[in-house]
Amino acid sequence: MGRQRKRVVTGEAAPPPRKDEKPSVFHRKEKKKKMDIGKVFINISIGLCIFSLIWFFYALYMRSNLANRVVTLHAAPPVLDANSSSAKVSPDRFWGSYRPQVYFGMKTRSPTSIVTGMMWMRQFSDMDVNLRHTCEQGDRLQGYGWLMHDGLTFGVQEIRDNDFTLTTEFVKRMGGGHGGDWTWRITAKQHSSSPQAPVISLMFYAAADTEGSLEAHVEEKNRLASITGSSEELGNFKITFRKPVTGELSSAKYASYNYLQTVTPGLEKLTDIVKHSLNRRFVYSPPSGEKRHYIAVDVYKPPHHHNQQKPSDTRKESDFVVHQVTVQTPFQVEVLFESGSFYNRPNQLVGSIMTQELEKRKAEFNAKFEKTFGLESKSFSQAHIKFGKAALSNMLGGMGYFYGQSVVQSVYNDYPLLYPEGALFTAVPSRSFFPRGFLWDEGFHQLLLSKWDPQVTREAIAHWIDLMNMEGWIPREQILGDEARSKVPAEFIVQRNENANPPTLFLALQELIEQLLSHPDKAASQPTLPFLRRLFPRLKTWFEWYNTTQTGPLPNSYRWRGRDKDTNLFLNPKTLTSGLDDYPRASHPSADERHVDLHCWMALSSGIMASIAQLLGEPHQDYELSHQILSDNNLLNELHWSEQLRAFSDFGNHTQAVSLQQEKVYVPPGQPRHQFPVARLVRSVRRAPKLQYVNALGYVSLFPFLLHVLQPDSPKLEYIFHDMRDPNKLWTPYGLRSLSKADPLYMKRNTEHDAPYWRGPVWININYLAVRALHHYSNIDGPYKEKAAALYEELRTNIINNVYRQYVETGYIWEQYNDSTGRGQGSHPFTGWSALTLLMMAEHY
């Protein structure tokens, strides 16, 4: 009973167990189960926290790692040794006219070179200050450029200002351990149409670039007789300014002298410093003539910015010394640079000694030019040959040596980063407008320069490839140093690592390989094989970068990245990365696009990669297989042949029903109009886009032909030749126009501020590829051989005649040519790829 009472309890809590009484088995299990679930929950929570922390730090690490990849250089040994451009290793190329952005100047191939240059101005002119220094289209010179330049030892340039001509000559002499001596000679002559002999001030200067020192030596109160200096790369040196004479061995002329000795925070400031040091207090008083006040350098007075707190320039200041000589034409003046380590100097390189040396170099240049290009043997006139020499000389004289850091960004960077410091030895497209390196231009440049001096081509390619990061990306526009950056609009400075450029360096490599295979014993070709061996590890990564980052939506298709994203403002969003800027692509950029020109570039590149690998005894089968697949004409037709257009075409999300219309801005009644935004031109889309062929006939349509991807018996060649020769499509008396006259976007503006660029004008680089391709198809058996030969003769003649005629009439080789009149237009001088006219004259492909 008692037990029973204890067990049966209703409505009351059970009495506490006695101390010696153990809990029941059921209660023990229940408690243990609750404890186990709690522990599991705690353990899971701790585990999740630890995992989340690990994942968080791993994600941070990976993002940081991915963010740093864009500024991490390739791990393979550089193609060039660190001191390959130094005076000890390459003394004959150490000094040069490596400042293409100025009318006349020289520097060394070293990161912090002492630079030298010349400015000038006409005294007593209608313009207050007409100082010339950096090449500017706004100066409106009648013409300027190198008439002769061998890229190594001498150069002769003619600068035609409004009423006088300056001839700038230089010649180098090897000796010592720092690149030897050089002398400049400037000859000034008035134009026959000028009513009176102009008085000109020449300003010769030397400036240090963070390293080295300069000291002025003044005689006769104001005349800077010489500058002595020293730097790590040059040792001790002396620059002597000789007095002007009427001509060689003639008596001295009356001249007024001034000088400026100051400092500069950067080379891009030199013009401004001189401008802000000019003073009108000096008197020009020739023995026979009136006394007149003239403008000359005096004391540098930095400009004051009223009511503006300008950030101070924190860069290290370097020495800057200017010698001004003011003299009436005609006259001649010489500047002599002498290296302190040139101990056995036979004589000074001035006067008649310099003349003899110049004449010797000119004779050697002329002989080599004819041997290389054979224009005399092709019965070209002496005027045509002079033009050909100028085309080559301007490209050689436009070689620049740049040093600095690009500004880059990847999708993993919130802000742009500075790329590692690097050097670039490269030709430039235009001394006035594009005085810096452009990746796709350089391949065309080196097609010409490799014929003249393969060593220049090897060094230029090596410099470009050494700028590659670990991903295999090379910034396509090289803006290195403050001087280069000062010429570039801010929106173009940052380079993005998903953006490519046509890999035209493979064209130059193809030329080097052909030279090696055809003349294996020739001394100029001997270094090519070891060069390719050092290049190959980076070349593999470069090719792989294109083959993975620029792929298209279908197997073996390709798509340019980096198209303009603001489809509201552009009639057709630009594709700067393709090199063809505003050439019509799919109207609505998308990941579904396929670009035929990039497909052909990859077909070419894979074939050249196979050739190089085979030459080096490296595995080549994969490259060969890629080349075979990408060159398969059936695949090409399947991906890019438009039956509607009967031409090769891009594919994408596209409509032709687009136009630029004035934007409608609503202004409430009674409100002043000027308080509201200005109406812009914006894109109007009248019909929705759909996936289709783009059907724009022009340069892009020709790429399977231009890069020899089409088989010689391909029936597609018949359509291409027909379109090329049709005056209502691509044919003009001046070369092939970039976009068919029948295309809806022919010569249409892309925005209210962007004039048509690749939408009609004649471009020489693509015309060169067309002439080269016609030459190729006219020399191999096929049903279109005769048609190719006839087109070749006609197109080649038209291009040469027009580029030459425009040069004679205007004094310049131009960026592009008007397809209606043949007139040169755009940047000038443009002796980048437009100089390929010389190769068409020589029939060297």
461-480: pLDDT as tens digits? 999 999 999 999 999 999 99
Q: Is residue 381 part of a domain?
A: no
* Confidence check: pLDDT of 409 > 90: yes
Is 705 in contact with 719 (CB distance < 8 Å)?
Answer: no
Alpha-helical (H) ranges within 476-620 are 482-485, 505-518, 528-549, 596-616
- The DSSP bridge pattern shows strands 407-409 and 494-496 to be parallel
> Catalytic site residue 139?
no
> 2 pLDDT band (50/70/90 cuts)?
very low
* Confidence check: pLDDT of 161 > 60: yes
pLDDT of the residue at 31: 60
pLDDT of the residue at 123: 93
> 566 pLDDT band (50/70/90 cuts)?
confident
Q: Is residue 240 part of a domain?
A: yes
> 12 pLDDT band (50/70/90 cuts)?
very low
Q: Is residue 271 part of a domain?
A: yes
pLDDT digits (tens, 9 = 90+) for 764-816: 999 999 999 999 999 999 999 999 999 999 999 999 999 999 999 999 999 99
pLDDT of the residue at 192: 79
* Confidence check: pLDDT of 580 > 80: yes
pLDDT of the residue at 752: 86
CA distance linking residue 738 with residue 617, whole number of Å: 41
> Catalytic site residue 815?
yes
Type of residue at 96: G
pLDDT digits (tens, 9 = 90+) for 590-643: 999 999 999 999 999 999 999 999 999 999 999 999 999 999 999 999 999 999
Type of residue at 4: Q
pLDDT of the residue at 814: 98
pLDDT digits (tens, 9 = 90+) for 802-834: 999 999 999 999 999 999 999 999 999 999 999
* 310: exposed, middle or buried (Cβ count in 10 Å: 0-12, 13-18, 19+): exposed
Is 806 in contact with 823 (CB distance < 8 Å)?
Answer: yes
SS3 341: coil
pLDDT digits (tens, 9 = 90+) for 511-546: 999 999 999 889 888 999 999 999 999 999 999 999
* Confidence check: pLDDT of 437 > 60: yes
pTM of the model: 0.91
Angle 506-510-514 from CA coordinates, rounded to 5°: 170
C-alpha count within 13 angstroms, C-beta hemisphere, residue 71: 21
Q: Under the phi-then-psi rule, with left for phi > 0, alpha for psi from -120 to 50, and beta for the rest, what region is 383? A: alpha
Highest mean pLDDT, choosing among 8-22, 556-570, 605-619: 605-619
Q: Is residue 615 part of a domain?
A: no
Is 202 in contact with 333 (CB distance < 8 Å)?
Answer: yes
pLDDT of the residue at 3: 41
Is 594 in contact with 602 (CB distance < 8 Å)?
Answer: no
Mean residue pLDDT across the chain: 91
Q: Under the phi-then-psi rule, with left for phi > 0, alpha for psi from -120 to 50, and beta for the rest, what region is 170? A: beta
Is 469 in contact with 72 (CB distance < 8 Å)?
Answer: yes
Which CATH number do you get for residue 332? 2.70.98.110
SS3 589: coil
Rounded to whole angstroms, what are the CA distances from 525 to 147, 458, 519, 608, 812?
27, 10, 7, 18, 33
The whole-number average pLDDT for the span 240-260 is 87
* Confidence check: pLDDT of 558 > 50: yes
* Confidence check: pLDDT of 11 > 50: no
Q: Angle at which helices 505-518 and 454-465 pack, to 10 degrees?
A: 140
CA distance linking residue 150 with residue 396, whole number of Å: 7
Tokens of 288: 């026979």
Q: Which domain holds residue 149?
A: 101-303+314-373
pLDDT of the residue at 327: 95
Please give the DSSP secondary-structure letter assigned to residue 89.
T
Q: Which of 53-57, 455-459, 713-717, 751-755 has the lowest mean pLDDT?
A: 53-57
Q: Which of 581, 663, 726, 843 is labelled catalytic?
A: 581
Q: Is residue 319 part of a domain?
A: yes
pLDDT of the residue at 560: 98
The total of structural domains in the chain comes to 1
Q: Which of 161, 181, 593, 815 is labelled catalytic?
A: 815
What are the φ and ψ backbone dihedral angles of 407, each rounded to 5 degrees? -110, 120
**Residue 396: which residues within 8 A CB-CB, separation 6 or more?**
146, 149, 150, 151, 155, 449, 452, 456
Q: Is residue 298 part of a domain?
A: yes
* Confidence check: pLDDT of 13 > 60: no
The whole-number average pLDDT for the span 50-75 is 78
pLDDT of the residue at 44: 84
CA distance linking residue 614 with residue 726, whole number of Å: 42
Type of residue at 820: S
Q: Is residue 120 part of a domain?
A: yes
* Confidence check: pLDDT of 6 > 50: no
Q: Is residue 551 part of a domain?
A: no
**Residue 236: which residues within 8 A CB-CB, separation 6 or more?**
228, 229, 230, 339, 340, 341
The whole-number average pLDDT for the span 426-434 is 96
Residue in 229, 178, 224 with CA at minimum distance from that of residue 204: 224
What is the DSSP annotation of 744-762?
Answer: TTTT--SSSS---SSSS-B
pLDDT of the residue at 134: 96
Q: What percent of the chain has pLDDT over 90?
A: 78
Q: Which residue has the higher pLDDT, 95 or 247?
A: 95
C-alpha count within 13 angstroms, C-beta hemisphere, residue 151: 29
* Confidence check: pLDDT of 7 > 50: no
pLDDT digits (tens, 9 = 90+) for 699-757: 999 999 999 999 999 999 999 999 999 999 999 999 999 999 999 999 999 998 899 99
Q: Which of 243-252, 383-392, 656-665 has the lowest mean pLDDT?
A: 243-252
